C-alpha cells in the first residue's frame, strides 16, 4: 500500500544536534509532498521549540508536540488535541528528581518552569528560544495543562535511570528517553504512536498507509504503529530491533534515504528490464522484490523493434500476473554499454548494435510511464549498495564478470555515472595493444582476457568443444593439470585488473557479480592473495561475492526509475 502520511522526528533524526534541515532532506521531503504524502513532524519539543524547523520545512500540517501529548495545527497555531499530566504525578516526579539530585522542569504554555535555575535548563531554553521561569514554589502548587515534564542529566546516566523511573511510575505515567540525557514524562497513553493514530484517523488514512522515522524510545510507539517504521543508524538499539528498516544516520541524511527508498516506492509496481546480447529479462517488481520474471532471446531488427519487444514482453508478463499495465508506476532498463542516463541515450552498446540511440524515449512512448535507462553494471552496483553486498559502504565497486566486464563505482554513497554522463567503461581499459580483438573495436581490453566468455573459450581450448567456465572449475577442483594452468593464468589476469581498479579509488569493498560469481568462495579464494599482492596499498581490500545474482541489474534499474 502506498504511503499517505509520513511522520518525522526532529532531533537526531531529521536534524543533527542544533543543526538545520539538510538540502538532501529538504529535497526528498518536497518529492514526498509532490507525490501527495502528508509530511508532518512528530517531536518531543513544544510548538514554539519546533517553530524554526516548521519554518525551514514550510510545514502547513498538523504537528505532534511534547512526544504525543499535544497535537497542534501549524495553520491556526492552536492545539487540536491536548493531554496533561496529573498534578499529583508532577509533584512526585519533581520530588523524586530532587531526591536523586537531578534537574527536572515542567512545561507551561510554551515555556518551561523549574524550581531552581539550572545550567541544563538555561542551555535548553536558549537553544530552543523558550521562555524560562524559576518558581521556588513549584512543588507547592496544583498544576494544570502541563503536557510533559523533563529531566535533563548526563547522557551516560540515562540507561541506569530510565528503568528506575519506569518502575516507579509504572501504570501511571509514560516514561521514555529522547535526546541524549533526556528523560520525558507524559500522561499514560499519550505518545507519538497514539498521536499519529489520531492524525491518521482524522485524515481518513489507514494505519498501513503511514510511515514514521525516529531515533529514540520516545519514537518507539509511532514506529510500532506505522505501516512502515524506520530508525536512523545513530538511533537506539532497542528501536532498531522493532523497526522495519535501519537507514543511514541523521548526519548522512537518513530521512532522505527513507523517503527515496521506502516511502515513495512502497507498494508500487515497477517493470525492470535487463537487456543482454543473448536474452532480455523482464521482471515485475514491488518493494524491491521480483514478483515474476520472464526471459526472451535478444533480437534486433531496429532500435524501435527492441523497444517494441520489451513492451510486448511486459504485457504478457503482466497478463500472467493478472496485473494491469496502468498500475505500473515506472520502468527501468539496463543495458551493457555506454549510456547517457540523463539524456536517455545509448551511446555505444556494441553487443546490442545500439549506437547514439534515443532508446529511453522509444520505450517511454510505448509505456507512457517514467523510464530510466542505465548501464547494467551501474544498475547492479546501485542495487547491491541499497539491498545487497555493498550496503553500508560509501566508496566501493561492483565488477560483473560475464560476457563482458562491467564496473559500477560507488563514490561518496552514490553511483558515479561518469564525468560527462557516459558512464564508467573500466572493462575496456586497454592493457595490451597487440592483444586480442575486443567487441568495442579496440584490442587487448581487460574484458578480452578477464571475462567469463574468455574463460569459456580457454576451457574449450583445453578440455574440448563442450567445455565452459563451469566445467573448467570442476576440473580445477579435481586437480587436472591443464585446467589448473588455465585457472592460474585467468585468476592472474582478473586479480591484476582488480588490483589496478583498487589503485584508482581505494574502495572499502569490492563485490563480484555476473555469471562467474556463481563460482562463489572458490573464485574469491583464488584471487584474494593475488589482488592484495598486486595492489599498491598494504591494507587488503575486502572482496565478496555479490548477493543479488542475476537480478541485480533489473532491480537497480527499477531503483533508478524512482529518481526520474
Ligand atoms: C560494456 C559495459 C557493460 C559490461 C557488462 C561491457 O562490454 O562495455 O558497458 O557494463 O560489458 O555487461
**In angstroms, what is the span from residue 389 Cα to ligand 1's centroid?**
20
Residue nearest to atom 6 of ligand 1 (CA): 404
Ligand 1 atom nearest to CA at 338: 9
Q: Does domain 5-79+190-263 have CATH number 3.40.630.10?
A: no
SS3 (DSSP) at 276: coil
**In angstroms, what is the span from residue 336 Cα to ligand 1's centroid?**
4
**In angstroms, what is the span from residue 454 Cα to ligand 1's centroid?**
14
**In angstroms, what is the span from residue 488 Cα to ligand 1's centroid?**
24
For the chain, where do the domains classified as CATH 3.40.50.1000 start and end?
5-79+190-263
SS3 (DSSP) at 537: coil
Residue among 274, 276, 425 to mutate when testing ligand 1 (max atoms within 8 A of CB)? 425
**Res 482: pLDDT:** 97
What would the pLDDT profile of 479-502 be if each residue is shown by its tens digit?
Answer: 999 999 999 999 999 999 999 999
Q: Does domain 269-378 have CATH number 1.10.760.10?
A: no
Ligand 1 atom nearest to CA at 337: 9
Q: How many angstroms separate the CA atoms of 275 and 338, rounded?
A: 13
Q: Find residue 328's DSSP bridge partners.
A: 269
**In angstroms, what is the span from residue 369 Cα to ligand 1's centroid?**
26
Side-chain-side CA neighbours of 532 within 13 Å: the count stands at 11
**In angstroms, what is the span from residue 382 Cα to ligand 1's centroid?**
16
**Res 268: pLDDT:** 86
Residue nearest to atom 4 of ligand 1 (CA): 406
Query: Angle at Cα 239 formed by Cα 233 and Cα 241, nearest 5°?
Result: 95
**In angstroms, what is the span from residue 467 Cα to ligand 1's centroid?**
24
Q: How many angstroms separate the CA atoms of 275 and 281, rounded?
A: 6
Residue nearest to atom 9 of ligand 1 (CA): 337
Residue nearest to atom 10 of ligand 1 (CA): 406
State mean pLDDT over 70-81: 95
pTM of the model: 0.69
What would the pLDDT profile of 440-456 be if each residue is shown by its tens digit?
Answer: 999 999 999 999 999 99
**In angstroms, what is the span from residue 351 Cα to ligand 1's centroid?**
9
End-to-end CA distance of the chain: 21
State mean pLDDT over 51-76: 94
For the chain, where do the domains classified as CATH 3.30.420.40 start and end?
269-378, 389-547
Residue nearest to atom 5 of ligand 1 (CA): 406
CATH homologous superfamily for the domain 389-547:
ATPase, nucleotide binding domain (3.30.420.40)
Q: Report whether pLDDT(465) > 90.
A: yes
Could you identify the residue written with the cell 497513553? 189
**Res 110: pLDDT:** 84
**In angstroms, what is the span from residue 428 Cα to ligand 1's centroid?**
8
**Res 563: pLDDT:** 67
**In angstroms, what is the span from residue 373 Cα to ligand 1's centroid?**
14
Element (H, E) at 228: strand 228-232
What would the pLDDT profile of 80-136 be if each residue is shown by its tens digit?
Answer: 999 999 999 999 999 999 999 999 999 998 899 999 999 999 998 888 888 999 999
Pocket of ligand 1 (CB under 6 A): 336-338, 375-377, 400, 404, 406, 425, 427-428, 447
Give the Å distances, CA to CA, from 296 to 4, 291, 351, 406, 418. 38, 17, 16, 22, 31
What would the pLDDT profile of 139-159 be if each residue is shown by its tens digit?
Answer: 999 999 999 999 999 999 999
State the SS3 of 297-361: ECCCCCHHHHHHHHHHHHHHHHHHCCCCHHHEEEEEEEECCEEECCCCEEEEECCCCEEEECHHH
Q: Report whether pLDDT(562) > 80.
A: no
Ligand 1 atom nearest to CA at 351: 7
Residue among 335, 374, 405, 440 to mutate when testing ligand 1 (max atoms within 8 A of CB)? 405
What would the pLDDT profile of 13-25 be if each residue is shown by its tens digit?
Answer: 999 987 899 999 9
CATH fold of 87-187, please? 3.30.1240
Ligand 1 atom nearest to CA at 377: 10
Residue nearest to atom 8 of ligand 1 (CA): 337
Mean of pLDDT over the chain: 94
Ligand 1 atom nearest to CA at 376: 10
Residue nearest to atom 12 of ligand 1 (CA): 336
3-state helix, strand, coil in the chain (%, to 5): 40, 25, 35
Residue nearest to atom 11 of ligand 1 (CA): 404
Q: Find residue 11's DSSP bridge partners.
A: 15
**In angstroms, what is the span from residue 425 Cα to ligand 1's centroid?**
7
Q: How many angstroms separate the CA atoms of 53 and 74, rounded?
A: 12
**Res 266: pLDDT:** 82
**In angstroms, what is the span from residue 419 Cα to ligand 1's centroid?**
18
SS3 (DSSP) at 203: helix
Among 210, 106, 192, CA closest to 149: 106
Ligand 1 atom nearest to CA at 407: 10
**Res 244: pLDDT:** 85
Residue nearest to atom 7 of ligand 1 (CA): 404
The secondary structure of residue 190, as a DSSP letter, is -
State mean pLDDT over 69-87: 95
**In angstroms, what is the span from residue 484 Cα to ligand 1's centroid?**
27
What would the pLDDT profile of 198-223 be if each residue is shown by its tens digit?
Answer: 999 999 999 999 999 999 989 999 99
Amino acid at each position: 500500500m502506498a504511503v499517505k502520511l509520513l511522520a518525522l522526528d526532529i532531533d537526531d533524526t531529521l536534524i543533527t544536534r542544533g543543526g538545520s534541515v539538510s538540502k538532501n532532506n529538504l529535497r526528498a521531503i518536497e518529492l514526498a509532498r509532490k507525490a501527495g504524502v502528508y509530511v508532518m513532524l512528530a517531536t518531543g519539543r513544544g510548538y514554539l521549540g519546533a517553530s524554526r524547523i516548521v519554518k525551514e520545512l514550510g510545514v502547513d500540517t498538523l504537528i505532534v508536540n511534547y512526544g504525543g501529548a499535544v497535537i497542534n495545527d501549524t495553520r491556526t497555531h492552536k492545539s487540536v488535541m491536548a493531554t496533561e499530566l496529573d498534578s499529583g504525578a508532577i509533584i512526585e516526579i519533581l520530588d523524586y528528581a530532587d531526591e536523586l539530585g537531578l534537574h527536572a522542569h515542567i512545561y507551561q504554555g510554551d515555556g518551561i518552569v523549574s524550581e531552581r535555575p539550572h545550567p541544563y535548563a538555561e542551555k535548553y531554553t536558549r537553544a530552543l528560544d523558550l521562555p524560562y521561569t524559576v518558581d521556588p514554589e513549584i512543588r507547592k502548587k496544583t498544576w494544570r495543562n502541563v503536557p510533559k515534564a523533563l529531566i535533563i542529566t548526563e547522557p551516560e546516566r540515562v540507561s541506569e535511570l530510565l528503568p528506575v523511573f519506569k518502575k516507579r511510575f509504572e501504570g501511571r505515567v509514560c516514561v521514555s528517553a529522547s535526546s541524549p540525557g533526556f528523560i520525558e514524562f507524559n500522561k499514560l497513553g499519550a505518545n507519538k504512536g497514539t498521536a499519529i493514530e489520531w492524525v491518521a484517523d482524522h485524515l481518513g488514512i489507514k494505519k498501513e498507509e503511514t510511515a514514521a522515522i525516529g531515533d529514540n524510545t520516545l519514537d518507539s510507539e509511532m514506529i510500532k504503529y506505522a505501516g512502515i517504521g524506520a530508525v536512523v543508524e545513530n538511533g537506539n538499539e532497542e528501536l532498531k530491533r522493532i523497526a522495519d528498516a535501519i537507514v543511514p544516520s541523521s548526519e548522512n541524511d537518513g530521512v532522505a534515504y527513507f523517503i527515496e527508498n521506502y516511502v515513495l516506492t512502497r507498494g508500487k509496481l515497477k517493470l525492470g528490464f535487463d537487456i543482454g546480447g543473448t536474452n532480455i529479462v523482464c521482471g515485475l517488481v514491488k518493494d524491491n522484490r521480483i514478483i515474476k520474471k520472464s526471459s526472451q532471446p535478444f533480437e534486433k531488427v531496429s532500435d524501435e523493434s527492441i523497444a517494441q519487444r520489451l513492451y510486448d514482453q511486459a504485457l504478457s508478463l503482466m497478463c500472467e500476473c493478472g496485473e494491469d499495465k496502468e498500475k505500473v508506476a515506472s520502468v527501468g532498463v539496463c543495458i551493457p554499454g555506454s549510456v547517457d542516463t540523463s539524456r536517455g541515450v545509448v551511446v555505444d552498446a556494441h553487443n546490442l548494435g545500439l549506437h547514439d540511440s534515443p532508446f529511453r524515449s522509444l520505450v517511454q512512448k510505448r509505456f507512457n510511464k517514467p523510464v530510466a535507462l542505465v548501464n547494467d553494471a551501474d544498475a547492479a552496483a546501485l542495487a547491491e549498495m541499497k539491498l545487497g553486498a555493498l550496503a553500508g559502504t560509501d566508496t566501493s565497486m561492483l565488477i560483473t564478470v560475464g560476457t563482458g566486464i562491467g564496473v559500477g563505482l560507488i563514490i561518496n554513497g552514490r553511483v558515479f555515472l561518469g564525468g560527462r554522463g557516459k558512464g564508467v567503461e573500466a572493462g575496456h581499459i586497454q592493457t595490451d595493444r597487440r592483444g586480442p580483438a575486443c567487441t568495442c573495436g579496440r584490442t587487448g581490453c581487460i574484458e578480452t582476457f578477464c571475462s567469463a566468455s574468455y574463460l569459456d573459450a580457454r576451457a574449450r581450448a583445453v578440455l574440448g568443444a563442450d567445455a565452459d567456465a563451469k566445467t573448467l572449475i570442476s576440473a580445477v577442483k579435481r586437480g587436472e593439470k591443464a585446467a589448473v594452468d588455465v585457472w592460474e593464468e585467468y585468476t592472474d589476469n582478473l586479480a591484476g585488473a582488480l588490483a589496478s581498479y583498487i589503485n584508482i579509488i581505494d574502495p572499502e569493498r569490492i563485490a563480484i557479480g555476473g555469471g562467474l560469481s556463481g563460482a562463489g568462495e572458490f573464485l574469491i579464494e583464488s584471487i584474494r592473495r593475488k589482488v592484495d599482492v598486486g595492489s599498491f596499498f598494504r591494507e587488503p581490500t575486502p572482496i565478496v561475492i555479490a548477493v543479488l545474482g542475476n537480478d541485480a541489474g533489473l532491480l537497480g534499474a527499477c531503483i533508478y526509475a524512482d529518481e526520474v
